Amino acid sequence: MSGYLAGIVSILGINVIFAYGIYVTAASGQLNLGGAGFQAIGAYGCAIMSSVYGFSVWTSILIAMAIGGAIGFVIAFPILRTRGVYMVLATFAFAEVVAGIIINSEFLGGAVGLPLSDYVEVNAIIAATLLVILFVFYLMSTRVGLAMRAVHDDESVADLMGVNNRAIQVMSFALGGALAGLSGALYALYFGFVEVQYFNALLSIFVLLYVLIGGTQTAWGPLFGASFFTLVPEALRIGEDWRFFIFGVLIVAMMIFRPEGIVTRDALDRLWLRLAPGTRHG
């Protein structure tokens, strides 16, 4: 695999994991615009564990995930007291607070950033991505996943059916923080350097678009969304002058013709019936 292809595959894998981190909260009806904050926590957590305290690569990654999950669990309680646009603003504010703490901390490298001495190969990122994909698909097929869908569709009905809405939403935030932390840790280890300027508001918007454009109804959505936002701009590099215009037109067209996302439950059911007539997709 060439260096260029390895770089594209690595970025795609990191973006897919990141998208699933936002998806698990969206799947339970919560829009998280603080993705950059969680990814920064994972990246800087891994950098500190690896470069300062000397932990091994995989131990650093696990600790970064644990930190992201723990912070997701803690902030879920105040954030879930808000609704709608106020929740979006609360999560966005969280990401800005994280960036402010990092840029004003000498221990975290401030605006200069932090180098890493450890490194992960593209094969490790591919393996981690596949494990995350399999885990999320399995999660959404369990009773917990069904409860998440129920909360997403109608909180009041889910509550009447015996679903503990608050527990599901808090769990989703914690799991989303852990997965976003994993993507940040892999980003830091692959590129060997982290700086706070990368984890900006635009990153939070993009990763939320991965999920919304891909679709929140099934676990296929983030995979398609992240792939679209990663690979299509790269493919459009042949027309450098027009690629951003073309990419923007494609996004607007999808929002008009596929407002529920690229992949929906109905679309998957129709596809399954074509592939296996007489059966029903579970």
| Separation of alpha carbons 79 and 57, rounded Å | 32
pTM: 0.91
- The DSSP annotation for 159-207 comes to HHTT--HHHHHHHHHHHHHHHHHHHHHHHHHHHSEE-GGGSSHHHHHHH
| Separation of alpha carbons 16 and 31, rounded Å | 17
**What value does the mean pLDDT of the chain take?**
89
| Separation of alpha carbons 159 and 147, rounded Å | 10
Residue 272 has pLDDT above 70, yes or no: no
DSSP structural state of residue 280: -
Domain ranges of the chain: 3-200
pLDDT at 277: 66
Q: Which residue has the tokens 């995350």?
A: 132
* C-beta separation of 40 from 196 below 8 A: yes
Q: How confident is the model at residue 266 (pLDDT cuts 50, 70, 90)?
A: confident
Residue 238 has pLDDT above 90, yes or no: no
- The DSSP annotation for 93-150 comes to HHHHHHHHHHHT-TTTTTTT-EE-S----HHHHHHHHHHHHHHHHHHHHSHHHHHHHH
| Percent of the chain's residues with pLDDT above 90 | 62
Q: How confident is the model at residue 243 (pLDDT cuts 50, 70, 90)?
A: low
Amino acid at 249: V
Residue 280 has pLDDT above 70, yes or no: no
Q: How confident is the model at residue 264 (pLDDT cuts 50, 70, 90)?
A: confident
- Residue 114 dihedral angles phi and psi, to the nearest 5°: -130, 135
